[in-house]
Amino acid sequence: MEKKQRVLTGITTSGTPHLGNLVGAILPAIKASKSENVSSFLFLADYHSLIKNTDSELTHSSSFEIAACWLASGLDPNKVIFYRQSDIPHIFELAWILGCLASKGLLNRAHAYKAAISENELNGSKDMDKGITMGLFNYPILMAADILMFKADIVPVGQDQKQHIEMARDIAIKFNHHYGELLTPPEAQISEDTGILPGIDGRKMSKSYNNTIPIFSDENLLKKTVMKIKTNSLEPGEPKDSEGCNIFSIYKAISSENEISDFQKRYDEGISWGDAKKTLYENLNQFLLPYKTEYSKIIQDRAYVESVLIQGSKKALETSAPLMEKVRKIVGIKGF
Ligand code: TRP
């Protein structure tokens, strides 16, 4: 029998689940997990969240909310290995070993680190590393450990994460070259939708930009947020371009082919931005309703969410423990 492909992805648990998480990562990962030829590892990157956030309450609540969001979106814990990164100590042990192989120069080139440096430059700071933690610098190593610990073949991510998967690949190849073939160099899978869902200001929807559409908020807040989406200043009656339009891009991510072509027609006919937003809001509300209903049930039962994650961690450890034992041995860390 052909070996199943291992698909692994995680979400950093900083902040409340938003539409970008749902349509960009969660729903595609759950869809892929239903295929017979795939074994899925889906996890909460809760230690990654400490890089962005030192508020312990937020770290905790966000981890719970993202977990509940995966479950509300249809993740089947019997089909998928669903776990918390922090429950797998082997990941952190592997991260150290990988850090000893990865060259500093490789990490100097990481986008997130470079962006932080440029910001310091822009602000005229004398210290280029001002406010930059080792957590941010090492971020790609921890991510490489997340991936390599489970011998993932495919890592579905947004475009912005592609470089991290390439780094994980480089590090795996270097490890294998030094110590012998043991780790699996992963491949990124960049889906068309992931990473490009715009936020309400047109940049990628991300907690870091404060431009997200929350998915489990009440209808008023949802409406308010949709009304804030940036548009150009074309008047009602003037034909509008759907390409590059934030409202249209978001609409497209949650609507059927028919709805999309109807909406396109209305753009050609010069729909007003007010009506376009109203249409988006109504569709979004409909789209989110089943997830919301499920979510509000799940968050009532914290013990259930916890038990699912404990079961998931047990299964994940069955994969990570034997590989970690091999890794230790192959690098020469073993009993006398
Ligand atoms: N860095 C990813 C993000 O912020 C989350 C993440 C952590 C991840 N480890 C991972 C994604 C491993 C895929 C594989 O979106």
Q: What is the pLDDT of residues 74-101, one digit of tens each?
A: 999 999 999 999 999 999 999 999 999 9
- Stronger pLDDT, 24 or 332, i.e. the higher one: 332
Give the pair of three-digit tokens for residue 136.
Answer: 């941010």
Q: What is the pLDDT of residue 209?
A: 85
Per-residue pLDDT band for 230 (boundaries 50, 70, 90) equals very high
Q: Is the pLDDT of residue 195 over 60?
A: no
Please state, in angstroms and as integers, the Cα–Cα distance from residue 164 to each residue in 155, 156, 192, 286, following that order: 10, 12, 18, 35
Q: How far apart are CA 215 and CA 290, in angstroms?
A: 11
Output the CA torsion sign for 234, 237, 240, 245.
Answer: positive
Q: Is the pLDDT of residue 236 over 90?
A: yes
Q: In angstroms, how far is CA 239 from the centroid of its own chain?
A: 35
* pLDDT-wise least confident of 14-18, 110-114, 297-301, 321-325: 14-18
Q: Compute the distance from residue 283 Cα to the ligand 1 centre, in Å.
A: 29
Mean pLDDT of all residues in 166-190: 97
Nearest CA, atom 13, ligand 1: 9
Which of 7, 9, 66 is the best mutation target for the ligand 1 pocket, counting ligand atoms within 8 Å of the beta carbon and taking the most?
9
Mean pLDDT of all residues in 128-140: 96
Q: How far apart are CA 299 and CA 186, in angstroms?
A: 34
Q: What is the pLDDT of residue 194?
A: 46
Helix (H) and strand (E) counts for the chain? 14, 5
Q: Compute the distance from residue 161 Cα to the ligand 1 centre, in Å.
A: 7
Q: With a threshold of 0.75, does the pTM exceed it?
A: yes
**Helix, strand, coil content of the chain in percent (nearest 5):** 60, 10, 30
Name the CA dihedral angle for 14, 19, 21, 24, rounded to a multiple of 10 degrees.
-150
Q: How far apart are CA 171 and CA 196, in angstroms?
A: 27
Q: What is the pLDDT of residue 158?
A: 81
- Stronger pLDDT, 199 or 208, i.e. the higher one: 199
Q: Are 298 and 305 in contact (CB under 8 A)?
A: yes
Residue range 20-56, pLDDT digits in tens: 889 988 999 999 999 999 999 999 999 999 998 999 9
Phi and psi at residue 14, to the nearest 5°: -115, 115
Residue range 282-299, pLDDT digits in tens: 999 999 999 999 999 999
Residue range 140-155, pLDDT digits in tens: 999 999 999 999 999 9
Count of beta carbons in the 10 Å neighbourhood of residue 233: 6
Q: Is the pLDDT of residue 232 over 50?
A: yes
Please state, in angstroms and as integers, the Cα–Cα distance from residue 281 to each residue in 271, 274, 287, following that order: 15, 10, 10
Nearest CA, atom 6, ligand 1: 10
Q: What is the pLDDT of residue 58?
A: 94
Give the pair of three-digit tokens for residue 142.
Answer: 């921890």
Name the nearest CA neighbour of 198 among 238, 164, 170, 158.
158
Q: What is the pLDDT of residue 159?
A: 81
Q: What is the pLDDT of residue 252?
A: 93
- Residue 158 CA, closest ligand 1 atom number: 15
Mean pLDDT of all residues in 187-192: 83
What beta strand segments (E) does 169-325 contain?
Answer: 187-190
Q: What is the pLDDT of residue 2?
A: 64
At 82, which helix (H) or strand (E)?
strand 81-84
- Stronger pLDDT, 190 or 336, i.e. the higher one: 336
* pLDDT-wise least confident of 2-11, 272-281, 283-292: 2-11
Who lines ligand 1 at CB under 6 A?
8-12, 45, 48, 143, 146-147, 155, 157, 161
Q: Are 57 and 115 in contact (CB under 8 A)?
A: no
Q: Is the pLDDT of residue 193 over 80?
A: no
* Strand duo 5-12 + 38-45: pairing: parallel
Which of 146, 149, 189, 190 is the best mutation target for the ligand 1 pocket, counting ligand atoms within 8 Å of the beta carbon and taking the most?
146
